[in-house]
Amino acid sequence: MPPDGSTAIMGRSQTATEDSRTPYSHHDTMDSEPTIPTTPTSESDVEKDDASPTQAPQLVDTSVENRRQSEEATKDSDLKSMTQRKVPTKDDTKKEGEVDVMDIPTKVDIVWRNVFLFVYLHVFSAYGVYLLLSGQVMWQTFIWTALIHSCGALGITAGAHRFWAHKSYKAKLPLKLILVFMQTVSFQNSIHEWSRDHRVHHKYSETNADPHNAKRGFFFAHMGWLLCRKHPAVKEKGKQIDMSDLEADPLIMFQKKYYVPLVLWTSFFMPTLVAWYFWGESFITAWCFASQLRYCFNLHCTWLVNSAAHLWGDKPYDQTINPSENKGVSIFAFGEGWHNYHHVFPWDYKTAELGRYKYNFTAAFIDFFAWIGWAYDLKTVSDKMVRDRVRRTGDGSWRHEKEAASLTDMTDSLASSMGMGHGGPWGWGDKDIPMTDSQMTQTLYPLISLHED
Ligand SMILES: [Zn+2]
Ligand SMILES: [Zn+2]
């Protein structure tokens, strides 16, 4: 699960200056947050391939000729694009002597209200653990809570993350409605806010503009970022992220407008009242276990992607970046722990090279809806793209390790840039996706293959 464990309630306008925010929100840490500009997108080649969902099953790939031409340009172009990725995100319009917002030193300015509310959440959650271990939770409540947890988790992984933030597949209205409901259950901020923060995270990973910059340590990347005010660069770069696609979607703006009542009912009241009313669970147990503990557990699963998966694990696809392959995180986060791959190819709906379902439950969820026709245009990348990238920038831990190690050929400029904070494109539709990558991206519809290697 993704990545952003942000949990703010945004109010009724697009400005974030309203007071109707929840405590768990990193947005609470802002003094103010200007309206997100709706700049034109670079979606020309994204929308052109808008395949009709009624067409017969097929695998659409680039033509052989196009591929041959693009292969010629691949190495130079990708190296160029990687070089571009490494370039610190300075603002060229800054006058001499003026400090770039990215260079403003970090400081910890604690938001005590958030600290208090997180303490409250964890105390009640701890009591929920005690109720479980002491046998005071009814089995019906346990199953119900597991269902609600899965619902919220998938709302983040399949919904906010892979569908809205990265545009890695398309969905028909019934699936969109399901995903909006599930994402609201998770209470990790509205889809609009969640997606914007996550796009910023991808474009400015491990810099001051990354909301949960892992270079500031495990605790900060995990939950500390929600306990202190945002670095100015996060707000500045957040304003520049293109969100016009989501802002044009009435469903997204409806959820944003009515987020407060929606989240209160779906994330807290519903889980509690159902257990209390239908099978007679005690109200306190239902509140502490099905509501508070479930929510707390969901947040930590999400946060592990920002912390553990940005600090520990192999880097078979790009050793110059922090995000890593972490099986443990994948288990807790429904398949979101294959983070080195994900930051290299963020528009792949599987967020991983291998779609093995036991470590990627979210891919199974999306595949199911593709099978019944509610999800379509699933983006994935070819084996050749993966191998090319492994050869150029992998750390030798790829599954075909020997082959990769013998082919590794890092340029001096790339090697010298290792360790620098940098990001990549935020997903399908970002103008910074290398042309060769977008040309060689495959679109699956509907998906039937099982991806087993
Ligand atoms: Zn990440
Ligand atoms: Zn992502």
| pLDDT, tens digit (0-9, with 9 covering 90-100), for 364-373 | 999 999 999 9
What local confidence, expressed as pLDDT, does residue 384 receive? 87
98 has pLDDT over 60: yes
Burial of 278 (0-12, 13-18, 19+ CB in 10 A): exposed
Q: Work out the number of other CB atoms within 10 angstroms of the CB of residue 20.
A: 11
| pLDDT, tens digit (0-9, with 9 covering 90-100), for 395-431 | 888 876 555 455 544 444 443 344 344 567 878 777 7
% residues pLDDT > 90 (the chain): 59
Start-to-end C-alpha separation, the chain: 23
CA of 342 to the centre of ligand 1 (A): 8
CA gap 234, 204 in Å, rounded: 9
Nearest to 198 by CA among 245, 234, 247, 224: 234
Q: Which ligand is nearest to the CA of 195?
A: 2
CA of 263 to the centre of ligand 1 (A): 25
Instruction: Report which listed range, 52-66, 297-311, 343-357, is most confident.
Output: 297-311
Contacts for 138 with CB less than 8 Å, ≥ 6 apart: 275, 279, 280, 281, 285
Nearest to 422 by CA among 204, 197, 124: 204
CA of 315 to the centre of ligand 1 (A): 13
339 has pLDDT over 90: yes
CA of 11 to the centre of ligand 1 (A): 26
CA of 163 to the centre of ligand 1 (A): 16
What local confidence, expressed as pLDDT, does residue 437 receive? 75
Q: Which residues surround ligand 1, an ion (CB under 5 A)?
A: 323
CA of 24 to the centre of ligand 2 (A): 21
| pLDDT, tens digit (0-9, with 9 covering 90-100), for 380-398 | 998 888 888 898 888 888 8
Q: How confident is the model at residue 121 (pLDDT cuts 50, 70, 90)?
A: very high
The domains of the chain are located at 26-86+108-445
| pLDDT, tens digit (0-9, with 9 covering 90-100), for 251-281 | 999 999 999 999 999 999 999 999 999 999 9
CA of 132 to the centre of ligand 2 (A): 33
**pTM recorded for the entire structure:** 0.75
CA of 278 to the centre of ligand 1 (A): 40
| pLDDT, tens digit (0-9, with 9 covering 90-100), for 72-86 | 444 444 444 443 444
| pLDDT, tens digit (0-9, with 9 covering 90-100), for 191-238 | 999 999 999 999 999 999 999 999 999 999 999 999 999 999 999 999
| pLDDT, tens digit (0-9, with 9 covering 90-100), for 6-25 | 443 333 333 333 333 333 33
| pLDDT, tens digit (0-9, with 9 covering 90-100), for 156-197 | 999 999 999 999 999 999 999 999 999 999 999 999 999 999
Q: Do the beta carbons of residue 421 and residue 207 sit within 8 Å?
A: yes
CA of 339 to the centre of ligand 1 (A): 6
Q: How confident is the model at residue 93 (pLDDT cuts 50, 70, 90)?
A: low
Q: Which ligand is nearest to the CA of 305?
A: 1
Backbone torsions φ then ψ of 445, nearest 5 degrees: -160, 130
